């Protein structure tokens, strides 16, 4: 019987160098078969042809502070159109010497939004913080207190206006939408039909037509001498519009609840309000977070439609800069900056919704 057990240590063979490490990763993910190899090569070619010229245009050959005539000489980006007009783009008509006020108001808003992202802070104190914050922002924007000069809302513009329209439109449309959804599910025929008519009417027209109604036709109906703030009119139109869409999404969530949930609530002896508040809505609203956020994001972007009724939101104040002959033609640079700002807003919203979904995930 020969020796079976060898005392010599077996040499451990390493896997081929092409299967591990960077090379292995490249092989597995980029050159896995002829089809993916061709795709990889094509992608590299595409990137090679686009990224370096873009980088040269945006950074190497660009001008950051030069005037319009210098900008026309260079073939890179002319960021100075934004740099030189940044205060008008951001603050619009807000009096030049008082522009620190909307700046602080925006910082307060960002701070509050940042805190509100974290669910650990969702306590009574946060509600107080929002109340104090909103009042402070109102005082800062409007003035008339503490020696601050009064600035009428007609002079508000730029980014603060976009944020104001978005935050209020979204924050007020959401509860209104939930109420409408509950109304549509109601057993009371009058309430039900009113909600159905409202939702279908609003969903049957584009937002632009509502904005036109608010800004052009509505004033003709008002009695003599009564004028209603233009911003308020646009805001109401946006709230009414967004609420109708949210209502339909929430209705989807309500219909997704099994009857067992309602019966369980009934057997506990809960009344309608408590059933909704404690059992149905928490679950229904949770399952419709993704479509709700989609609607909120598109509503945020829709605020730029107020351009057509001459409110100077971020987009309009940027466009105005472009009609100055010195800066005519540098639309790319301006729109890129505006797009980045909108992207930041939309991305943080969708990011927050994913975080919220994860936090609220109970597995059923």
Partner 1 sequence: MKSLKICIVIAAVLAFAGVSLAGTLDDVRAKGFIQAGVNGGVFGFSMPNDKGLWEGLDVDTARAIAAAVFGDAGKVKFMPLTAVQRLPALQSKEIDVLCRNTTQTLTRETTNGLNFVAVNYYDGQGFLVPKKLGVNSAKQLDGATVCVLPGTTTELNAADFFRGSGLQWKPVVIENTAELNKAFFAGRCDCLTSDVSQLAAQRSVAPNPGDYIILPEVISKEPLAPVVRHGDDQWFDIVNFTVMALIEAEELGITSKNVDKMLKSELPQIKRFLGVTPGLGKALGLDDKWAYNIIKQVGNYGEIFERSVGPNTKLGLERGLNGLWTNGGLMYAAPFR
Residues that bind partner 1 (CB under 8 A): 72, 84-85, 87-88, 91-96, 152, 154-155, 157, 212, 215-217, 219-220, 222-225, 227, 308-310, 312, 316, 319-326, 328-329, 331
102 vs 177 by CB, closer to partner 1: 102
In the complex, what is the shortest distance from the CB of residue 52 to partner 1, in angstroms, rounded to a whole number?
A: 24
Say how many C-beta atoms besides its own lie within 10 A of residue 264's C-beta.
13
Nearer to partner 1, 231 or 295 (CB): 231
Pick between residue 86 and residue 194 the one whose CB is nearest to partner 1.
86
Contact 362, 282 (CB under 8 A): no
Between 254 and 334, CB nearer to partner 1:
334
Q: In the complex, what is the shortest distance from the CB of residue 233 to partner 1, in angstroms, rounded to a whole number?
A: 11
Find all residues with CB under 8 Å of 74, minimum gap 6, and list them. 61, 62, 63, 66
CA 79 to CA 63: how far, in whole Å?
6
**Residue 118 DSSP class:** S
**Which CB atom, from 126 or from 307, has the smaller least distance to partner 1?**
307
- Identify which of residues 151 and 284 has a Cβ nearer to partner 1 in the complex: 151
Least separation in angstroms between residue 16's CB and partner 1 is 56
CA dist 163 and 106 (Å) reads 8
DSSP class of residue 64 equals S
Q: Among candidates 196, 241, 195, which has minimal Cα distance to 214? A: 241
Q: How far is the CB of 235 from partner 1 (least distance, A)?
A: 17
Report the nearest approach of partner 1 to the CB of residue 88 (Å): 5
Distance in angstroms (rounded) separating the CA atoms of residues 301 and 308: 14
Closest approach, Cβ 105 to partner 1, in A, equals: 17
Residue 341 main-chain phi, psi, to 5 deg: -60, -45
Nearer residue to partner 1 within complex by CB, 91 or 174: 91
DSSP single-letter state for residue 13? P
| Cα–Cα distance for residue pair 53/46, rounded to 1 Å | 12
Enumerate residues 6+ apart whose C-beta is below 8 A from 137. Answer: 105, 108, 109
Least Å from the CB of residue 228 to partner 1: 10
Per the structure block, which two tokens stand in for 349? 């919203």
- In DSSP terms, 158 is beta-bridged to 313
């Amino acid at each position: 019987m020969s020796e079976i057990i060898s005392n010599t240590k077996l040499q451990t063979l390493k896997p081929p160098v092409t299967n591990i490490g960077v090379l292995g990763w490249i092989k597995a993910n980029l050159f896995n078969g002829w089809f993916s190899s061709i795709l990889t090569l094509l992608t590299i070619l595409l990137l090679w042809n686009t990224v370096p010229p873009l980088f040269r245009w945006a950074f190497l050959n660009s001008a950051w502070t030069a005037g319009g005539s210098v900008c026309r000489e260079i073939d890179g980006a002319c960021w100075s159109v934004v740099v030189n007009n940044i205060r008008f783009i951001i603050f619009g008509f807000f009096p030049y010497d008082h522009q620190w006020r909307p700046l602080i108001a925006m910082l307060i808003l960002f701070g509050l939004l940042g805190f509100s992202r974290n669910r650990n802070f969702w306590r009574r104190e946060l509600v107080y913080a929002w109340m104090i914050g909103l009042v402070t922002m109102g005082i800062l924007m409007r003035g008339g207190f503490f020696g601050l000069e009064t600035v009428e809302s007609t002079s508000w513009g730029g980014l603060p206006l976009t944020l104001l329209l978005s935050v209020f439109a979204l924050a007020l449309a959401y509860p209104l939408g939930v109420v409408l959804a509950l109304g549509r599910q109601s057993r009371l025929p009058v309430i039900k039909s009113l909600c159905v008519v409202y939702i279908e009417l609003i969903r049957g027209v584009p937002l632009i037509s509502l904005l036109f109604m608010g800004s052009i036709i509505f004033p003709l109906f008002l009695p003599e001498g009564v004028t209603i703030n233009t911003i308020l009119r646009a805001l109401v139109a946006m709230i009414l519009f967004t609420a109708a869409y949210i209502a339909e999404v929430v209705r989807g969530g309500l219909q997704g609840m099994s009857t067992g949930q309602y019966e369980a609530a009934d057997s506990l002896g809960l009344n309608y309000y408590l059933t909704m508040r404690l059992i149905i809505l928490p679950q229904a609203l949770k399952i419709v977070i993704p479509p709700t956020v989609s609607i909120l994001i598109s509503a945020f972007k829709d605020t730029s439609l107020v351009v057509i009724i001459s409110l100077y939101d971020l987009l309009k104040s940027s466009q105005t800069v472009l009609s100055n002959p010195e800066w005519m033609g540098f639309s790319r640079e301006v729109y890129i900056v505006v797009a980045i700002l909108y992207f930041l807003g939309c991305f943080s919203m969708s990011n927050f919704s994913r975080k919220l979904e994860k936090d609220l995930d109970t597995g059923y």
